[in-house]
Structure 1
């Protein structure tokens, strides 16, 4: 992963795919980039074959604090000991780490997922997680593992994924590949990163391009 200067305060994070191709994965404040470089995780998902990028610092220090009450003040040495509150049961206590991996949940996030205890934490994680991981976790909250495997993972599963072939992975990744310095400059100058986030996930694309015999409707989030 490479860091490219946007201005005095911000850096673009890029993956070098080939001599003339770069993959833009994020734009962050320079302080966050340099202080948390070892917490920026990326790799090829071994189920979907696409590229997963995760900022573990944001996930662990931010998401997991949501919905949790502030820590109680330290008890006085003369005060009677108070019983510790019962620990909340994790949302996905019945799903093993191997099952999470088989569903295509990004591997660096599996230990984090195991610690989720509220829907607020789950929604916070989904906001920063790779798209497929988010879809799996939201569906898994409502239906059994096997149903998620068949409905969400199987349709996008790729066989014989090469963990080092980023050229092949980028073709399966719904994001922007930058081929020239001019392309990168146009993104930075326009400051319109939102346009790079408008795309259809493979499961959505199948619904859009499918031929129907009559009217069709599918529910979707806002």
Structure 2
């Protein structure tokens, strides 16, 4: 086995979340496919196809079995295992998302495409522009938007994607948790803290030349594997989130205490 990866190889927390929802037999097949993918991304058995309906041209699918598909984000320098699900659900997930570097924080994010959310959840989007607000609601008591007082720079500073600035500012309390499901997790966490306490702590911007995957927020969502043995050990370990997806300071402590994956 070649212990050196030919490109940066990462798993996303969206992948481990989805993997945990699959039956045990499918989970086993997925883990085998992930190892095959790391060893040889060009292996014909993976039957990789670009997802042409996605807004992100770097999303690909890879075959696990007749029904299960891996969703990959593939560039010349990196390969990210982003999601896994049954065929149609996996494709739909990729068609609604992009992976991009946030322009202010410098962290790489999985961003839902706003227009796809509006198509799927028109009730959630009813407040996002004034002309969309139902007249019957406008005539009632004044509407309190949770984040209406926060300007673009403040929201960008906590990782809100640019296309989600208006929806965030025009979110009412009853809709917040529905909206938060569509935001990058670091942005949703910061906004929840603000809604609960009135405090908003901006992320530390990365240097212009920094690797967006090395930003502290990104390191909580995406894990890189330096060699094949490390990946194999992780695939055999329990997939509980605490053992892999830690806050950066916690991860450093674990790295000092354990030689190999924590169990």
Residue 32 to residue 191, structure 1, CA distance change in 2 (3 Å) = farther
Task: State yes or no: 1:111 paired with 2:169.
Answer: no
Whole-angstrom distance in 2 between the partners of 1:118 and 1:109: 17
Whole-angstrom distance in 2 between the partners of 1:25 and 1:176: 11
Q: Which runs of 5+ in 1 are unaligned?
A: 67-82, 210-222
> Any residues of structure 2 matched to 1:22-171 within 5 Å, and which?
22-35=79-92, 37-56=94-113, 59-60=117-118, 61=120, 65=124, 84-86=136-138, 88-119=143-174, 121-144=175-198, 147-148=199-200, 152-153=201-202, 156-162=203-209, 168-171=211-214
Task: State yes or no: 1:8 paired with 2:66.
Answer: yes
Deviation beyond 6 Å, 4+ runs, structure 1:
179-182
Number of residue pairs matched?
176
Whole-angstrom distance in 2 between the partners of 1:17 and 1:126: 28
Q: CA RMSD in A?
A: 4.1
CA contact (8 A) 1:97 1:110 kept: yes
Whole-angstrom distance in 2 between the partners of 1:104 and 1:53: 11
Counterpart secondary structure, 1:12: strand
Per the TM alignment, residue 52 of structure 1 is displaced from its structure 2 partner at its CA by 0.6
Residue 45 to residue 131, structure 1, CA distance change in 2 (3 Å) = same
2:56 is aligned to none
Deviations 1:137-191 (A, max 9, x none): 11221344xx41xxx22xx4124335xx7xx12223222336788949x85xx79
TM-score relative to the length of structure 1: 0.58
TM-score relative to the length of structure 2: 0.51
